[in-house]
Amino acid sequence: MIPGLYASGPEPLGFGPSLEIRAFLLRREGGNLLVYRSAALERDEQEIRALGGIFRQYLNHRHEASPACDRVAEKFGAPLHVHEEDAAAASEVCEVAGTFSGRHRLGDDFEVIPVPGHTPGATAFLWETGEHRFLFTGDTIFFVGGRWRAAVLEGVSDRERYVESLELLRSLEFDTVVPGIAPAGEPFYETVEGAEARRRIGGIIERLRRGESG
Instruction: Give the rounded distance of the alpha carbon of 143 from its chain centre.
Output: 13
Angstrom distance (rounded) from CA 92 to CA 181: 22
Query: Is 131 part of any domain?
Result: yes
Per the structure, the complete domain to which residue 17 belongs is given by 5-209
23-44 pLDDT per residue, tens: 999 999 999 999 999 988 888 8
46-104 pLDDT per residue, tens: 999 999 999 999 999 999 999 999 999 999 999 999 999 999 999 999 999 999 999 99
Query: CA-CA distances (angstroms) from residue 3 to 100, 134, 177?
Result: 29, 12, 15
Predicted TM-score (pTM) of the model is 0.95
Q: Which residues contact 201 (CB under 8 A, 6 or more apart)?
A: 141, 148, 166, 169, 170
Per the structure, the count of domains in the chain is 1
Query: Is 75 part of any domain?
Result: yes
Beta bridge partners of 212: none
Give the Cα-Cα-Cα angle 190, 4, 102 (nearest 5 degrees).
75
Q: What CATH number did the domain enclosing 56 receive?
A: 3.60.15.10
